[in-house]
Structure 1
Amino acid sequence: MELSEIKTEITTDPTGLGYAGKSPGAQSHLINDQTIAGMRPFTYGGARRWASANGVLIRAVRRAEDESETDEVLSSICRGFLDVPRDTELDPNQADISGMITYLHSLGFFGATYGASDATNDARRDEFLILGGNKISRAEQLWGVGTQVAHTLITEAVST
C-alpha cells in the first residue's frame, strides 16, 4: 500500500464512506470498519472442528482411505488438510484453497450425508467459506485481508 493510494482513497472517497471533514482517527475507523461482504481467513483447526461436526471430514477421509477409490487428488487433499498445524491460516480466497473447496463441493462432500441434496451441499459449502466471518473492511478490500490503516498513515498520506 502506497501513500498515494491512501491519499486517493481518502480524498476521492470512491465508495462513499464519508471521509470528508473527519479527523484522521475517524477516517481510520471508516476505512478499517468491517462492513463489506467478503471472506475472512480462518484456521485449519477451526475448519477441522467444523468439518468433523458436520461429518464432512470423516466421509472424506474414509473415501480417501478406501482402496477401491482411485481418486488420488482426494487422498492428497485429506492428508494435506490433516497434516497442517491447527493454528495455520486457511484462506478461502487463495486459488489452491478455493480449488480444493470447489473440488470437494463437486463431489458432494459438504452435504449432510451421502446422497444429500445439492441445496444442502451448496449451503454447507457457503457456511464453510465464511467460518472466519463474512465482512471485510475497505482497507482489506483494497490491500488484502488483515490490512489496517493507522490514523498516522492517513495524516502522512493526505499531507503529501
Structure 2
Amino acid sequence: MSIPGVEKEGKYIYRIKKTGNMKVDAIVLADYETIDEEPIEQLKNVATLPGIVKAAYAMPDIHWGYGFPIGGVAAFDLEDGIISPGGVGFDINCGVRMLVVDGNPDIVKKNLENLIKRIYENVPVGVGETSDLRFSKNDFKKIVEQGAKKVVEMGYGTEEDLLRIEDSGVLEE
C-alpha cells in the first residue's frame, strides 16, 4: 500500500513534508509495512498544533489513537505551545503524567542532566526494572479497584496529586 505524501529517507525513516496547515514536517520511525494511513493523518494533525517545534514524530508502534496517534511524540514551545491531554493518553488513563517545575528555566536547563539521572534512579522504567515497593495481595486488589486514591491513602502521594490526574487516577466501571 502506498500512503500519499510519505517519503522514504532511510531504512526505517519516513517524512511527510509540511503541507496545508502543518507547521512542521512529520517523521515516522518504523517499518513501512506496519504504517497505516489513519494514524498518519493523526500525525499530520499533530503537526498543525500551536507552538510545535522541530517535527511531529511517530515511533515504531504507531497506530490509531485518540487525538495523537499511539506512538506519537511532539514537543511544544514553552511560550507559544500547548499542553495536549490527547498527547498523553488521557482516554485510557495510561499513567503518563506531566511534571510542572517551578523555577528559573535557565537553572532547570543547567541541571537537566542531573534531574534526569535522579528520575531514573527513583522511578523504575523499562523492561525488567523493579521497585522496592511491595504490596500485599489485599492492598494490590484495593489499588486496582480504587486507583491513585488508595496509593495516596497509603502515603505515596498527596491529595493535590489526585487533582492533576485524569479521573483522579481511577476508572469507574
| Bigger radius of gyration | 1
TM band (smaller chain): under 0.3
TM-score by length of 1: 0.24
Larger RCO (CA under 8 A, 6+ residues apart): 1
1 or 2, which has the higher strand percentage? 2
> If the length of structure 2 is used for normalisation, what is the TM-score?
0.23
